[in-house]
Amino acid sequence: MNKASGEKITEKTENQVILEFSVPKTSDYFDGHFPGFPILPAVAQVDIIMQYVSRYFGTSAGLSEIKRIKFTTPVRPEIPLVLNFNKKENIISFTMNSQDGKIVYSAGTFVLCNEITDQQRLNAN
């Protein structure tokens, strides 16, 4: 993932990961959003979370449904972020906070698609 930097895992279990990272001001995510006052778009936050879910839970499943999601505070470039995400079956819950936990940038729950194996793809044709 080249759009986030300084990734540091602070806790990892089979179903939970807590990590720290930031999004550099040079990230493509900030292009045009907004000149002079860049903020991380909501769709970019979801993309970052899905990339981490894929990496740490070893799933290639896509996003099926957003159950609940709130973007409560704008994320500026270089701000240290703490992402806490949990997996229960195919449901991912997350919070993205400041390092001290006082600011919640976003939080939500979404459902992953069922993964399709290569053999299932071949059988479908």
Question: Which CATH number goes with the domain that contains 101?
Answer: 3.10.129.10
Q: Where do we find the tokens 């279990």?
A: 13
User: CA 6: distance to chain centroid?
Assistant: 15
In the chain, the number of structural domains is: 1
Look at residues 55, 51, 95 and name the one whose alpha carbon lies nearest to residue 75.
Answer: 95
| pLDDT tens per residue across span 96-121 | 999 999 999 999 999 999 765 444 45
Here the tokens at position 115 are 């993964």
Q: Which residues contact 41 (CB under 8 A, 6 or more apart)?
A: 29, 33
Give the integer Cα–Cα distance in Å for 15 and 88.
7
Residue 95 belongs to domain spanning: 5-124
| pLDDT tens per residue across span 28-81 | 999 999 999 999 999 999 999 999 999 999 888 789 999 999 999 999 999 999
| pLDDT tens per residue across span 7-38 | 999 999 999 999 999 999 999 999 999 999 99
